[in-house]
Amino acid sequence: MNIRIGLGFDVHQLVAGRKLFLCGVEIAHPLGLLGHSDADVALHAVIDAILGAVGAGDIGQWFPDNDAAYKDADSKVLLQTVMQSEALQNCQVGNLDLVIIAQQPKILPWVPVMKKSLANLLKCEESQISIKGKTTEKLGYTGRGEGIAAQAVILLQKS
Ligand code: CDP
Ligand code: ZN
């Protein structure tokens, strides 16, 4: 059994006039994340963790943000594209641990639906997924509510 670990990180700016998507779930919130795609910062961190685990580059190399094809792209589709790619052949998720760093909104109430969404995308059980919300105690760009950051660690088992 070949065990591979990957680390992902991402940040997007919070602005008015955009929907907020986290883990592929639309979150009720007055602000949304700005980006070329739907700016799902949590899924982007997960994608980069997966690509890191298999040594296959990063999300920007796979889906360039200057490519019109990915304008307003659904990040669920980007993750599915990676999961179904040659690079992920014979790989199964061991576990995923995800931290969403946001002063607001409160992540905890959304964790069950987010886990369901990720388990579906990663073809694993919800018990293999951990999602945690964290503030930065009003410090820095996340603390001022200027953006949301996400960190992901994933273990992949390659048979
Ligand atoms: O208490 P501590 O400083 O460790 O954590 P915090 O950032 O103040 O967050 C307290 C708790 O609120 C966390 O343990 C999460 O359960 C929850 N939380 C959340 O659901 N969504 C956030 N955006 C931030 C925190
Ligand atoms: Zn991103």
| DSSP characters over the chain | -EEEEEEEEEEEEEEETS-EEETTEEE--SEEE-SSS---HHHHHHHHHHHHHTT---HHHHS-TT-GGGTT--HHHHHHHHHTSGGGTTEEEEEEEEEEE-SSS--GGGHHHHHHHHHHHHTS-GGGEEEEEE--TT-HHHHTTSEEEEEEEEEEEE-
pLDDT at position 146: 98
Q: Which of 134, 138, 142, 148 to mutate to test the pocket of ligand 1 (most atoms within 8 A of CB)?
A: 134
pLDDT tens-place string over residues 114-130? 999 999 999 999 999 99
Q: Whose CA is nearest to atom 9 of ligand 1?
A: 134
Q: Which of 33, 108, 115, 144 to mutate to test the pocket of ligand 1 (most atoms within 8 A of CB)?
A: 108
**Does residue 134's CB lie within 6 angstroms of at least one atom of ligand 1?**
yes
Q: Is the whole model's pTM more than 0.85, yes or no?
A: yes
Query: What is the Å distance from ligand 1's center to 110 Cα?
Result: 13
